[in-house]
């Protein structure tokens, strides 16, 4: 028979995302409501291996719902991918009697949780926390909405100066493997072209359309590029375009980590609160080694193993919308 979960550890791992604090708060307060002991684990799996773990109470999560970043800090911890690292982490949890784990992070963090829960008798539940939204099986990930709105606000500002000077601007947004931030922010700001890692780009098509627009005296052109597109980001795209259009006035703007910070949007706070609440209920109900997703406004519990295998897919509809609206 499965042991009842009585002590839960919570950690944030991988790239931080606005709304992680709201999720931590929900886990802590739901756990306390159910009479559980809750432990915060600092810097993700790193703190689990180094025993940087502390007891949390309701007050430890006061006044954090509106704050970006994560009070538990985060890290990308390679040692946890080694059996030795996971063993150390397990021993630290075991010594404190922690018998359930909530992991807030992206697919890499879920991969770690899945491996850990296969090897050791500590059930894990994941919460999708990543600005990239590249986790299959959920309509939302914590942080995406805030990040994409930050990108939109910044691109709108660049558009003012771009328009004043009749320039071509190439704006790089985050997304090493995923184009969701580029697609959403590009559509929302009326970008003429959007380059994403999931699709091949025909650079000659872009060049031809810029030449054709030049003939029509449409000199302002906005190109949004995900950092992980096939060329390797905005600076590389600029080189290719400059080569083919030596007289064009092109400027590059890389938005970078500004997209990961800031106060979470209402949507991110709400989904983080819902997911955090359900993560604890999952552990109590014996629904283990899953991550909590939201599909059609309903909670879904997807095996961690599936989150590991699947990557989000970009539908053709989006690509068509960009093409048609940009004319």
Structure tokens belonging to residue 178? 């995923």
Minimum distance between the CB of residue 192 and ligand F6P, rounded to whole angstroms? 23
Q: Which is nearer to ligand F6P, 13 or 114 (CB)?
A: 13
Q: How far is the CB of 175 from ligand F6P (least distance, A)?
A: 5
Nearest CA to 174 out of 110, 104, 224 is that of 224
Q: Helix axis angle, 316-325 relative to 180-188, nearest 10°?
A: 30
- Least Å from the CB of residue 69 to ligand F6P: 12
Task: Between 15 and 293, name the residue whose CB sits nearer to ligand F6P.
Answer: 15
Do residues 165 and 249 touch, judged by C-beta distance below 8 A?
yes
First to last CA, the chain: 62
For the question of residue 316 being annotated catalytic, the response is no
Report, in Å, the least distance between residue 47 CB and ligand F6P. 17
Q: What is the edge-to-edge ordering of all strands in the sheet holding 124-128?
A: 53-56, 37-41, 7-12, 100-105, 124-128, 290-295, 298-303
The residue annotated as part of the active site, out of 107, 132, 145, 229, is 132
Q: Write out the H or E segment, with its range, that includes residue 145.
A: helix 144-165
Q: Which residues of 289-308 are buried (b: 16+ CB within 10 A; e: fewer)?
A: bbbbbbeeeeeebbbbeebb
Q: Closest CB to ligand F6P among 15 and 186? A: 15
Pick 277 or 291: Cβ nearer ligand F6P = 291
- 289: alpha, beta or left, given left = phi > 0 and alpha = psi -120 to 50? left
The contact set with ligand F6P (CB under 6 A) reads 15, 130-132, 174-176, 227, 260
Kind and range of the H or E run holding 103: strand 100-105
Between 131 and 275, whose beta carbon lies closer to ligand F6P?
A: 131
> Measured between alpha carbons, how far is 177 from 327 in angstroms, rounded to an integer?
27
Query: Least distance from C-beta 240 to ligand F6P, angstroms?
Result: 21
Which residues form the catalytic set?
132
């Amino acid at each position: 028979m499965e042991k009842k979960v009585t002590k839960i550890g919570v950690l944030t791992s991988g790239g931080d995302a606005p709304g992680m604090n709201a999720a931590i708060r929900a886990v802590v307060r739901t756990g306390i409501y159910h009479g559980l002991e809750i432990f915060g684990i600092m810097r993700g799996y790193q703190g689990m291996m180094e025993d940087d773990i502390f007891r949390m109470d309701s007050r430890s999560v006061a006044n954090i719902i509106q704050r970006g970043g994560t009070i538990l800090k985060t890290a990308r911890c390679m040692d946890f991918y080694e059996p030795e690292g996971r063993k150390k982490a397990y021993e630290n949890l075991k010594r404190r009697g922690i018998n359930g784990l909530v992991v807030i992070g992206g697919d890499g963090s879920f991969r770690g949780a899945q491996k850990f829960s296969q090897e050791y008798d500590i059930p894990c539940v994941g919460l999708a926390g990543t600005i990239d939204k590249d986790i299959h099986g959920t309509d939302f990930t914590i942080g995406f909405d805030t990040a994409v709105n930050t990108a939109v606000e910044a691109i709108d500002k660049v558009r003012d100066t771009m328009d004043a000077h009749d320039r071509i601007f190439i704006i790089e947004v985050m997304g090493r493997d995923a184009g969701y931030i580029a697609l959403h922010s590009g559509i929302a700001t009326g970008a003429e072209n959007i380059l994403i890692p999931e699709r091949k780009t025909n650079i000659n098509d872009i060049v031809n359309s810029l030449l054709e627009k030049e003939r029509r005296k449409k000199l302002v052109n906005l190109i949004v590029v995900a950092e992980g597109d096939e060329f390797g980001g905005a600076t590389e795209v600029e080189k290719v375009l400059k080569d083919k259009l030596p007289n064009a006035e092109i400027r590059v703007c890389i938005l970078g980590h500004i997209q990961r910070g800031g106060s979470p949007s209402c949507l991110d706070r709400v989904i983080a609160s819902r997911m955090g609440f359900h993560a604890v209920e999952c552990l109590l109900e014996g629904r283990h080694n899953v991550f909590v997703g939201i599909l059609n406004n309903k909670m879904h519990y997807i095996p961690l193993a599936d989150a590991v295998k699947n990557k989000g897919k970009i539908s053709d509809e989006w690509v068509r919308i960009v093409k048609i609206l940009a004319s």
